[in-house]
Amino acid sequence: MSKKIFITGVAGFLGSHLADKMLASGHKVVGCDNLLGGYLDNVSSEVEFYQYDCNFLNSMVKITKDVDVVYHCAATPYEGLSVFSPYLITKNVYEITASVMSAAIQNNVKRFVFTSSMARYGTNKVPFTEDMEPKPQDPYAIAKYSSELLIRNLANVHGMEYVIAVPHNIIGPRQKYDDPYRNVASIMINMMLQGRQPIIYGDGEQKRCFSFVQDCIQCLEKLAFQKDVVGEVINIGPDEEFVTINELAKIIAELLDFKLSPKYFPDRPQEVKLASCSAEKARRMLGYKTKYNLRQGLQEMIDYIKNRGPKPFKYHIDVEIINKLTPKTWKEKLF
């Protein structure tokens, strides 16, 4: 049966792919985005689109009328930057969640799906499992986990179904690649296509698993409809190919036939060294299975960025706190 799906951050990387999937499945999609972190041409012409900021409650109430399911994907997902721009980042994570959640409750939305972040786990031992106590290490992670607590509280009080999804390190076409503050793979590809050496923080031995966007979307779609996921926290992403940032740079350079000699800068404060989630729960409950390996996903990104053309980086967010700890790359706009 066709449903009316509302997606915040619908012009963003994850939100736009989710919208396409829902449209292809025969659902009606309404969405909003303030375009801080997305591209307008990511949005399908079939989406009922509003260029609204989630902070404005009255606007959210207006455009969530008669909606069956809300996917709250919008955020300012700048984990490293949040240590230096805590006001903007947390406002556009926690406060927008309160706004969208309030609107959804007012309009009797049946289910609320929240895309949280692997940052919630912080310094827990890898692989992170959903039963671990969150240990957020930076303002972004704190705001994401606080949003989870808010959703759980309000949903239980007002009788709304909710699911907490934890997608992590998603890569693929449509990711914003002219942003100097986030998306390490996109940044590296954009720089190398310009003939520039990538920048790596610390020793580059931080380890991550990268999720190709289409592999994640298959799981996220099910969260709107399955009964057994209500009230659950579910990691969405692979626990395969746990690679260092140095290894990531080498793979991208190989795919681009680029002679690699990275520039190293000091560690960013509060960055977690090892971050990887177990996918066992997603495999068990959602039939999760990766169809793309890391090289395939990176090649898709390279093709997308080549097609659009490399771009200069835009310092579109002000750094609020500038001191001796602020990365030189941002202070001196070195990307």
Could you state, in order of their start, the residue ranges of all structural domains in the chain?
Answer: 4-171+211-236
Whole-number pLDDT of residue 140: 98
pTM over 0.75: yes
Amino acid in position 172: G
Q: Which residue matches tokens 């060294």? A: 273
Contact 57, 102 (CB under 8 A): yes
E-assigned strand segments in 33-186:
48-50, 69-72, 111-115, 161-167, 170-171
DSSP calls for 10-32: TTSHHHHHHHHHHHHTT-EEEEE
- Give the integer Cα–Cα distance in Å for 160 and 231: 10
Q: How far apart are CA 107 and CA 105, in angstroms?
A: 5
Q: What phi and psi values does residue 163 have, to the nearest 5 degrees?
A: -140, 140
**Would you say 170 and 9 are in contact if contact means Cβ atoms under 8 Å apart?**
no
List the chain pLDDT tens, one digit each, 335 residues: 899 999 999 999 999 999 999 999 999 999 999 999 999 999 999 999 999 999 999 999 999 999 999 999 999 999 999 999 999 999 999 999 999 999 999 999 999 999 999 999 999 999 999 999 999 999 999 999 999 999 999 999 999 999 999 999 999 999 999 999 999 999 999 999 999 999 999 999 999 999 999 999 999 999 999 999 999 999 999 999 999 999 999 999 999 999 999 999 999 999 999 999 999 999 999 999 999 999 999 999 999 999 999 999 999 999 999 999 999 999 999 99
Q: Give the β-pairing of 161-167 and 211-212.
A: unpaired
Question: Please, are residues 115 and 72 in contact by the beta-carbon 8 Å criterion?
Answer: yes
- In this prediction, residue 1 carries a pLDDT of 84
On whether the CB atoms of residues 247 and 254 are closer than 8 A, the answer is: no
Q: In angstroms, rounded to a whole number, what is the distance separating the alpha carbons of residues 45 and 27?
A: 14
pLDDT of residue 16: 98
Q: How many CB atoms lie within 10 A of CB 22?
A: 27
15: tokens are 């939100």
Domain 4-171+211-236 matching CATH 3.40.47.10: the answer reads no
